[in-house]
Chains A and B, each alone.
Chain A
Amino acid sequence: MTSPTDQQAHWAKRRRRGRVGLYALVLAFTLMAAFPFVWALITSFKADQDLYNRNNNPFIFNIEPTFEHVRLLFDRTAFTTFVSNTVVVAVLVVVITLVASLPAAYSLARLNLRWGGAMGIAIFLVYLIPPSLLFISLSRVVSYLGLQDSRWALVVLYPTITIPVSVWLLMGFFKGIPKDIEEQAMVDGYSRLGAFVRTVLPLSFPGMVAVVVFSATLSASEFIYALAFVSQTSQKTISVGVPTELVRGDVFFWQSLQAATLLVAIPIALVFNAFLKRFIAGFTMGAVKG
Chain B
Amino acid sequence: MIQKSKRTLWWILSAVLLLSLIPVAANAQGSDPTDDEVNAVAKQLYCPVCENIPLDACGTAACEQWRGIIRDKLAEGWTEEEIKIYFVNQYGDRVLAEPPRRGFNWIVYIVPVVIFVGGGYLFYRGFEQWRSPEPDSNVRKKEKTTPKPVTLSEDDISRVEEELRKRSQR
- Do A and B associate with each other? no
Q: What is A's interface to B at a CB cutoff of 8 Å?
A: none
